């Protein structure tokens, strides 16, 4: 008998009448499942040749009763004092020195043959064999699974031998013939490499999903039922994409070309935060795509809001006259790059995240009758700076939010804008 480094008595605690935790004695014995324990405090639990006996602290002995027979375990003989919350192990040896083999099997309906005898599982779903010491052969079988044969040895030093056995499902060969041998093969969403590299495909009986992909072709996907009686070859013919954009119900579909482009037209309004003035423009943009990368160039032309009286940075005559402007003309050229992220299949809805540069020209004209020398004059300003966009597409329509920051000597500051547009392919 010995004390164990176990927390079982703490976790599965049972308290005596004085509120102190009991000790636990685990009594191991093979082949006897109806023992009684005189000094036990409360119910005794039994599972797989092991009794869990609760004892009060200070108990000196344990009387074990088997029918008319009694065995006394005196703890002083083992130099052990029963302490509260401590777990102990006591092993009882039977006269015939039986040992136990416990089998945990998967699937649950597997059959066990031990020493040429079929074994029935107990109420806990475990196969338990109690036998004399020695070597024994066993076999585990189940319909649709590979058989496992083995040997177990029951020895004097080990009271219980445990075996965990999980059978593998039987597999059957299939073959795949593909029009593009270097295409990628997936079975049940598991990548297996190229079709041509799979010379020995083994699958379990039943339905499987076969998928073959190639960047130049439409994906192939089909359900295939594997049979134990034999399987016909799977013939896969991939359809190549056309080398142009295909339209279906006015939606762009997949294309083999890595490069694609389109033209946008939109109207925009930008508000100068420092100038507190607004510019209205019509824009023509050219978008190019390479995978998820996007590039944008274009040209925009428009007018400043004529209700604005002064434009201190743009108009060098703003301090000379407080008149309304005769003409207020603006033009800019964006050059940006970023990411195009799809929001739906075939990119019918997407979002563009763009950043880059812009260049702009502003021309403000004044009427002659408003000037001191009765001569019409113009103010010319060139600007450049940083630009960032978040642009949403829903089918052919676009909604864009824009941020600009001037880097030129005129220090026009920051302006923000919004635009609505239409996409042409």
Is the same domain home to 269 and 372?
yes
Determine the pLDDT at residue 248. 44
Is the same domain home to 300 and 415?
yes
Determine the pLDDT at residue 257. 42
Angstrom CA distances, 47 to 126, 129, 160, 309, stand at: 11, 14, 12, 95
Is the same domain home to 268 and 405?
yes
Q: What is the CATH number of the domain that holds 404?
A: 2.40.160.20
Q: How confident is the model at residue 250 (pLDDT cuts 50, 70, 90)?
A: very low
Question: Contact at 8 Å (CB) between 101 and 49?
Answer: no
Residue 242 lies in a domain: no
Domain containing residue 200: 171-236
Is the same domain home to 272 and 412?
yes
Residues 239-263, mean pLDDT to the nearest whole number? 58
Q: How far apart are CA 28 and CA 327, in angstroms?
A: 104
Alpha helices in 273-418 (DSSP H): none
Total of domains in the chain:
4
Q: H or E element: which one contains 305? A: none
Q: How far apart are CA 64 and CA 70, in angstroms?
A: 6
Average pLDDT for the chain? 86
Alpha helices in 120-195 (DSSP H): none
What pLDDT, in 10s, does the model give residues 157-190?
888 899 999 999 999 999 999 999 999 999 999 9
Residue 282 lies in a domain: yes
Is the same domain home to 264 and 410?
yes
Is the same domain home to 16 and 40?
yes
Is the same domain home to 260 and 210?
no
In degrees to the nearest 10, what's the CA dihedral of 97, 50, 125, 144? -50
Q: Cα-flanking dihedrals φ and ψ of residue 196, to 5°?
A: -65, -20
Residue 97 lies in a domain: no
Question: Contact at 8 Å (CB) between 92 and 120?
Answer: no
Residue 96 lies in a domain: no
Domain end (from 32, 64, 91) = 91
Question: Contact at 8 Å (CB) between 385 and 408?
Answer: yes
Q: Which segment of 50-59, 276-285, 376-385, 412-421 scores lowest on mean pLDDT?
A: 376-385
What pLDDT, in 10s, does the model give residues 57-91?
999 999 999 988 899 999 999 999 999 999 999 98
Q: H or E element: which one contains 310? A: none
């Amino acid at each position: 008998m010995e004390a164990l480094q176990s927390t079982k008595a703490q976790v599965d605690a049972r308290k005596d009448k004085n509120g102190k935790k009991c000790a636990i004695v685990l009594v191991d014995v093979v082949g006897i499942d109806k023992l009684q324990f005189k000094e036990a405090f409360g119910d005794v639990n039994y599972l797989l040749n092991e009794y869990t006996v609760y004892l009060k602290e200070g108990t000196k002995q344990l009387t074990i009763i088997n029918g008319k027979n009694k065995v006394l375990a005196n703890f002083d003989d083992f130099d052990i004092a029963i302490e509260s919350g401590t777990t102990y192990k006591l092993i009882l040896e039977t006269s015939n020195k039986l040992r136990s083999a416990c089998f945990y099997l998967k699937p649950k309906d597997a059959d066990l043959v031990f020493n040429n005898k079929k074994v029935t599982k107990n109420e806990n779903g475990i196969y338990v064999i109690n036998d004399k010491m020695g070597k024994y052969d066993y076999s585990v079988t189940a319909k649709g699974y590979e058989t496992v044969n083995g040997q177990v040895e029951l020895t004097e030093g080990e009271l219980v031998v445990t075996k965990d056995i999980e059978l593998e499902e039987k597999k059957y060969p299939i073959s795949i013939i593909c029009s593009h041998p270097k295409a990628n093969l997936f079975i049940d969403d598991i990548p297996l490499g190229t079709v041509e590299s799979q010379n020995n495909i083994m699958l379990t009986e039943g339905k499987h999903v076969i998928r073959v992909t190639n960047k130049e072709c439409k994906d192939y996907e089909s359900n295939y039922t594997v049979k134990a009686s034999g399987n016909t070859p799977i013939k896969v013919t991939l359809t190549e994409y056309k080398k142009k954009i295909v339209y279906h119900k006015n939606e762009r579909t997949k294309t083999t070309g890595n490069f694609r482009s389109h033209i946008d037209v939109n109207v925009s309004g930008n508000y100068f935060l420092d100038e507190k003035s607004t510019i209205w423009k019509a824009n023509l943009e050219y978008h190019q795509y390479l995978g998820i990368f996007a590039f944008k160039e274009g040209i925009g032309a428009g007018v400043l809001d004529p209700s604005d009286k002064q434009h201190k940075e743009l108009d060098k005559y703003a301090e000379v006259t407080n008149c309304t402007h005769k003409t207020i003309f603006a033009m800019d050229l964006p050059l940006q790059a970023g990411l195009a992220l799809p929001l739906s299949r075939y990119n019918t809805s997407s979002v563009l995240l763009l950043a880059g540069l812009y260049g702009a020209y502003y021309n403000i004209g004044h009427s002659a009758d408003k000037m001191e020398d009765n001569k019409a004059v113009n103010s010319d300003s060139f600007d450049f700076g940083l630009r960032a966009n978040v642009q949403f597409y829903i089918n052919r329509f676009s909604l864009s939010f824009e941020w600009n920051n001037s880097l030129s000597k005129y220090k026009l500051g920051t302006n923000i804008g919004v635009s609505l547009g239409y996409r042409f392919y």
